[in-house]
Amino acid sequence: MNKVKSLNRKDLLGLKDLSVEEIKLILRTAHSMKEVAARPIPKVPTLLGKHIITLFFEASTRTRTSFNMAAKILSANITNIAISSSSVTKGESLIDTVKNLEVMGVDAIIIRHPMGGAPLLAARNCKASIISAGDGFNEHPTQGLLDIFTMQEKRGKLKDKKILIVGDISHSRVARSNIWGLTKLGAKVTVVGPPTMIPRGIEEMGVNVSYNLDDEIKEADFINMLRIQNERQEKGLFPSIEEYHKLYGLNKERMKYAKKDVLVMHPGPINRGVEITSEVADGPYNVILEQVTNGVAVRSALLFLLLGGKT
Ligand code: CP
C-alpha cells in the first residue's frame, strides 16, 4: 500500500475518525519533528505567518504548553485565550467565539472543553482547523497519539502487544483515544478497573475487560495508568482511596509480578499514592516524562500536517 503523504482533513477531533494510514503518517512525521525539537536551535520556518489559538475551558499544563512549544518550533504565531478574561464570561457561545476568531484570520483553534462534542460543534461552524485537546469523556486524540508514539519508539510495532489501561475507564477521554488508536494498529488492549468505572458494552470497541489487575499484570507489555479523580469519590464509585489503591494501584509489590521489560505509562497529572506510588512512577519501568517530551513532537507533526504540510 502507498504511504499517504498528507492529511486531507481540516480538523483533528479524535482517533476514531483516523485511518491507520493517517495515524502512521502522523507518527512518522512526529519522528522528524522530534529530531527538529532536539536541535540546539529548535526552529524551522514551516508555519511562518500562520496564526494558532488555544481555547482551553479546562486547566492544562502539558497539552497547552506543548502545543505552544510546537507552534513556536514551526514559527507559527500562537495566542492563548484565557477563558476567565474572555467574552465567554459574558455569555458568548462557543460557535460565536470561533466564528469571531475565524474572521480575524486564524488558521487553527485548539480546543479543550468539558463537554464531549464541543470541538466537533466548533469544526462544523468554522473554516479554521479545529484540534481537540480533550473534550469531556469523549477523546483526547493528541494524548492517544503521543502514547502510541512512545510505545512504538520503545518497542517497535504494536501488533499483538498486550496493553493494560487501568482505572476510571468510564470517564477517561485518554482511554478512548488510546483504545481507538491501539486497536487500529493491532494491539491487544485490556481495560482494568472496578465494575463501577468500566462502561457496559466497551468490548464493542475491540478490548477485553478485567476487574482484576493481578490477573492481567503478568502478561502486559505496557501498563497505562489513569488518574483517579478524587472528586468522584463523592459519587461512591469505590469504597475509599485506600481500597482503590489496594486493588488497582500500581506499587512495588504488584510490579514484582510484571514482565521484566514492562513499561509503565501515565498521561498525567499523577495522584501519587493513589493510582500509582512514587516508587513506580519514578522507577525504572516508567516512561512518563518521555511521554511528555514526545507530546511536543506529536503536536508539531499535527500542526504541520493540518496546516498544509506534506512529508
Ligand atoms: N495529559 C494531559 O492532558 O495533561 P494536561 O491536563 O496537563 O494537559
User: CA 292, CA 38: separation in Å to the nearest integer?
Assistant: 14
Neighbouring-strand partners of residue 224: 165, 265
C-alpha cell at 230: 478524587
User: Is residue 272 predicted with pLDDT exceeding 80?
Assistant: yes
pLDDT at 254: 97
Of 162, 110, 107, 174, which is closest to residue 138 (Cα–Cα)? 174
Question: How many other CB atoms sit within 10 Å of the CB of residue 62?
Answer: 18
CB atoms within 10 A of CB 174: 24
Ligand 1 centroid from CA 268, angstroms: 6
Query: How confident is residue 233, by pLDDT bands cut at 50, 70 and 90?
Result: low
> Mutate which of 57, 63, 64, 150 to test ligand 1's pocket (most atoms within 8 Å of Cβ)?
63
Which of 110, 142, 143, 224 to mutate to test ligand 1, by most ligand atoms within 8 A of the CB atom?
Answer: 143
Specify the residue with its C-alpha closest to ligand 1, atom 6: 60
Q: How many CB atoms lie within 10 A of CB 268?
A: 17
pLDDT of the residue at 243: 93
Q: What is the predicted pLDDT for the residue at 310?
A: 65
Provide the pLDDT for residue 228. 85
- Measured from the Cβ of residue 262, the count of other Cβ atoms closer than 10 Å reads 18
Average pLDDT, stretch 78-99? 97
127 alpha carbon – ligand 1 mean position (Å): 26
pLDDT of residue 121: 98
Do the two domains 20-139+295-306 and 141-291 of this chain adopt the same fold? yes
Q: Is the pLDDT of residue 215 over 90?
A: yes
| CATH 1.10.287.3510 corresponds to the domain 20-139+295-306 | no
Residue with cell 485518554: 174
Q: How many CA atoms lie within 13 A of 5 on its CB side?
A: 3
- pLDDT above 90: residue 234: no
269 is in an annotated binding site: yes
Q: pLDDT at position 247, please? A: 96
CA torsion sign for 178, 180, 185, 191 is positive
**Residue 140, annotated as binding a ligand:** yes
What sign has the CA pseudo-torsion 204, 207, 210, 211? negative
- 242 CA to middle of ligand 1, Å? 25
Give the pLDDT of residue 229. 72
List CB contacts of 115: < 8 A, sequence separation 6 or more.
Answer: 135, 136
Res. 146: pLDDT tops 80? yes
The whole-chain average pLDDT of the chain stands at 96
Percent of the chain with pLDDT over 90: 92
User: Contact 298/142 with Cβ under 8 angstroms?
Assistant: yes
Q: Ligand 1 mean position to 310 CA, how many Å?
A: 28
pLDDT tens column, 48-88 = 999 999 999 999 999 999 999 999 999 999 999 999 999 99
pLDDT confidence tier of residue 239, bands split at 50, 70 and 90: confident
How far is ligand 1, taken at its centre, from the CA of residue 301, in Å?
A: 18
Nearest CA to ligand 1 atom 3: 63
Give me the pLDDT at residue 311, please. 64
Q: Tell whether residue 176 is among the known ligand binding residues.
A: no
Any atom of ligand 1 within 6 Å of the Cβ of 62: yes
Helix%, strand%, coil% for the chain, nearest 5: 45, 15, 40
Mean pLDDT of 150-176: 97
Ligand 1 atom closest to Cα of residue 64 = 8
**What's the whole-number mean pLDDT along residues 208-218?**
98
* Per-residue pLDDT, 107: 98
Q: What is the mean pLDDT of residues 19-30?
A: 98
Residue type (1 letter), 10: K
pLDDT > 70: what percent of the chain? 97
pLDDT band at 303 (very low <50, low <70, confident <90, very high): very high
Segment 182-211 shows an average pLDDT of: 97
Give the orientation angle of helix 141-155 with respect to helix 20-37, to 10 degrees. Answer: 80
CATH code of 141-291, in short, is 3.40.50.1370
3-state SS assignment for residue 41? coil
Which amino acid, residue 103? V
Q: Over 90: is that where the pLDDT of 232 sits?
A: no
Pocket test for ligand 1, best of 55, 57, 61 (most atoms within 8 A of CB): 61
Ligand 1 centroid, distance to 185 Cα (angstroms)? 24
Looking at residue 1, its pLDDT comes to 61
User: For residue 66, what pLDDT is reported?
Assistant: 98
Backbone angles phi, psi at 137, to 5 degrees: -95, 5
60 in contact with ligand 1, CB cutoff 6 A: yes
- The whole-angstrom separation of Cα 206 and Cα 188 is 8
CA distances from 112 to 94, 130, 134 (A): 11, 10, 5
Residue 235 reports pLDDT greater than 80: no
Residue 115 has pLDDT above 80, yes or no: yes
Residue 291 CB–ligand 1 contact under 6 Å: no
Averaged over 10-24, what is the pLDDT? 98
Ligand 1 atom showing the smallest separation from residue 295 Cα: 1
pLDDT, residue 5, reads 85
Q: In the chain, what are the domain boundaries?
A: 20-139+295-306, 141-291
Angstrom distance (rounded) from CA 241 to CA 212? 17
Q: What crossing angle do the helices spanning 173-184 and 141-155 adopt, rounded to 10°?
A: 50
3 alpha carbon to ligand 1 midpoint, in Å? 31
pLDDT for the residue numbered 109: 98
Question: Hey, is 304 helix, strand or coil?
Answer: helix
Ligand 1 atom with the smallest distance to the CA of 65 is: 8
- Cα–ligand 1 centroid distance for 251 (angstroms): 23
